[in-house]
Amino acid sequence: MILLDTGIMSGADIVAAIALGARCTLIGRAYLYGLMAGGEAGVRRAIEILTGQLTRTMRLLGVTCLEELSPKHVTQLRRLVPLSTA
C-alpha cells in the first residue's frame, strides 16, 4: 500500500498521487496552514478548498470517481521554457 506524505499542496496533487497508485495522501500541511490562519474554522476551510480542487480536477479529466483514475491521467512537464521559434 502506497501512502503519499509529502508535497501535497492542492487537489490536483491528490488526484495525481491517486492516479499513480497511492492508496491515499496525507495533507498535514494544509491542516496546519488552516489551523494557523483561522483555528478550527480555518482547518474546515482548507479541507473545503482541497475538496473543491480535487472535484474540479476530476471533472476536467472526465472521471466521476477516484477508482477511474489511472497513470494515463497524469502527464509530465518536459520543458520549463517555451520552444524557440527561430
Residue 4: closest CA among 18, 44, 43: 18
Query: What's the average model confidence in pLDDT over 10-17?
Result: 95
Q: Kindly tell me if the per-residue pLDDT of 86 is higher than 70.
A: no
Helix, strand, or coil (residue 51): helix
- Name beta bridge partners: 25: 4
In the chain, where do the E strands start and end?
3-4, 24-25
Report pLDDT for 85: 59
- Indicate the domain borders of the chain: 3-65
State the pLDDT confidence band at 6, using cuts at 50, 70 and 90. Answer: confident
Give pLDDT tens digits for 34-82. Answer: 999 999 999 999 999 999 999 999 999 999 999 999 999 998 766 666 6
Helix, strand, or coil (residue 26): coil
| Predicted structure pTM score | 0.80
Q: Which amino acid is at 83?
A: L
Helix, strand, or coil (residue 65): coil
What does the block give as the cell for 71? 497513470
